[in-house]
């Protein structure tokens, strides 16, 4: 923080005239008000954690993470906005301190039918231009194809006339805009200093997709034009609900692996977050027999052919579909691939790196030993190979 030191509100109790009083110290204190002795500095550094622990001591099940979240929640309305290094030009003119408010949304409690979501028709050319306009914006870079299509579908048209104000500095942010046509100028300050001109392309107001914070500049149309807009709640709903669905699907995929049956719920959730989506086109080789085994694959979509190289050539030994998995022995033996895998059609998989797995859960053999009786995928010779490899490592 720039000019204040953040300390959670700490509760203290006192008895005055037989009454029990509870008072709270300020959530923010200036450095000049803090104790400058060595002991005081140490106490000052520990204050956020001590204050939260005092509030949470009655909850025996509270964890360190819960304590941190409690500390954040005590000062959510006094949050400092720190500017990004690569922020858009317009955002650089925002005042030094802003109030930021974020709405809550629980995708698990959202029972709306996905088929009922709003879709605003667009031509292929318009969708292509929209995609080009947003692909370099940080908020959109991590979207997969499905999420991007949902976002583009939800953007609605806004027709503007010359001299119309699209947004005004200081107003609450509501929508994010992508320019379809027209010329727009950006102004800041009471004297309306001109800082930028958008000529038929570009976007502005992306911070409105994250926070309900005052606009950093005024945007006025110089000509008639057309914009595509998206509101914050729709954007967050698409992203959060999509991420929620994907996480549930990943957890189900992990739960289908016999050797991972002994995972605790929190372990399965952490592992689901570490899965990496990958896509392969028809006929593309996913893994090659003899290559270094670096991880395991789960099939989200499509079919995969498993083949083994023999004297007469490659022979198919298995054909896997959605919900299947392969490469799991890479998590145990770290030996070269025992077979090759090919995409029968367009395939979408989730990949877990061996390093990520071991960083989260440790050696897989330790996980398997919790319930070895559940694992029936490999025969006895392979079991002996696994055990031998684990002993060597």
Dump strand ranges (E) for the chain. 5-6, 11-16, 19-24, 28-29, 156-160, 165-167, 175-181, 183-188, 193-199, 203-204, 218-221, 225-231, 276-280, 285-287, 295-301, 304-310, 313-320, 325-326, 340-343, 347-353
Whole-angstrom distance between the N-terminal and C-terminal Cα of the chain? 47
Sequence ranges of the binding site for 3',5'-cyclic AMP: 206, 215, 328, 337
Distance, CA of 158 to CA of 224 (rounded, Å):
11
- Spatial distance between the Cα atoms of 364 and 49, rounded to a whole number of angstroms: 35
The pair of structure tokens assigned to 156 is: 């609605």
Between CA 231 and CA 237 the distance in angstroms is 10
Task: Decide: helix, strand or coil at residue 180.
Answer: strand
User: Helix or strand or coil: residue 207?
Assistant: helix
Dihedral of alpha carbons 110, 103, 70, 83, sign: positive
Give the number of C-alpha atoms closer than 13 A to the C-alpha of residue 383, restricted to the C-beta side.
Answer: 11
Total count of residues recorded for the chain: 393
Residue keyed to tokens 């005024």: 218
The conformation of residue 42, written as its DSSP 8-state character, comes to H
d(CA 212, CA 214): 7
How far apart CA 140 and CA 147 sit, in angstroms, is 9
CB 4 within 8 A of CB 28: yes
Please state the three-class secondary structure of 249-315 as a single string.
HHHHHHHCCHHHCCCCHHHHHHHHHCCEEEEECCCCEEECCCCCCCEEEEEEECCEEEEEEECCEEE
């Amino acid at each position: 923080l720039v000019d204040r030191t953040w300390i959670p509100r700490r509760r203290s109790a006192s008895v005055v005239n037989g009454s029990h009083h509870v008072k709270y110290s300020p959530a923010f204190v200036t450095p000049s008000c803090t104790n400058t002795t060595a002991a005081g500095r140490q106490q000052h550094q520990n204050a956020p954690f001590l204050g939260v622990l005092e509030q949470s001591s009655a909850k025996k099940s509270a964890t360190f993470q819960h304590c941190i979240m409690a500390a954040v929640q005590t000062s959510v309305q006094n949050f400092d906005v720190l500017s990004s290094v690569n922020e858009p030009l317009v955002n650089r003119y925002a005042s030094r301190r802003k109030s930021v408010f974020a709405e809550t949304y629980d995708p698990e409690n959202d029972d709306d039918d996905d088929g009922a979501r709003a879709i605003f028709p667009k031509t292929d050319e318009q969708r292509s231009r929209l995609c080009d306009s947003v692909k370099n914006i940080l908020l959109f870079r991590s979207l997969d194809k499905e999420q991007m299509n949902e976002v583009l579908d939800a953007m609605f048209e806004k027709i503007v006339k010359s001299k119309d104000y699209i947004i005004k500095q200081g107003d609450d942010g509501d929508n994010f805009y992508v320019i379809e046509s027209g010329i727009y100028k950006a102004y800041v300050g009471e004297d309306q200093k001109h800082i930028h001109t958008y000529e038929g392309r570009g976007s502005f107001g992306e911070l409105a997709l994250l926070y309900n914070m005052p606009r950093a500049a005024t945007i006025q149309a110089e000509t008639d034009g057309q914009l595509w807009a998206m509101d914050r709640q729709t954007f967050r709903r698409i992203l959060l609900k999509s991420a929620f669905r994907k996480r549930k699907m990943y957890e189900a995929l992990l739960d289908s692996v016999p050797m991972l049956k002994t995972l605790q719920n929190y372990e399965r959730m952490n592992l689901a977050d570490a899965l990496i989506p990958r896509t392969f086109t028809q006929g593309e080789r996913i893994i090659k027999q003899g290559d270094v085994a670096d991880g395991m694959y789960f099939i989200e979509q499509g079919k995969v052919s498993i083949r083994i190289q023999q004297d007469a050539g490659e022979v198919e030994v298995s054909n896997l579909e959605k919900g299947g998995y392969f490469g799991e022995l890479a998590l145990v033996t770290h030996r070269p691939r025992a077979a090759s895998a090919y995409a029968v059609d367009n395939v979408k998989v989730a990949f877990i790196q061996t390093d990520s797995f071991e960083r989260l859960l440790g050696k897989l053999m330790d996980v398997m030993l919790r319930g070895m009786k559940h694992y029936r995928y490999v025969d006895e010779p392979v079991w002996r190979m696994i055990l031998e490899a684990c002993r060597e490592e």
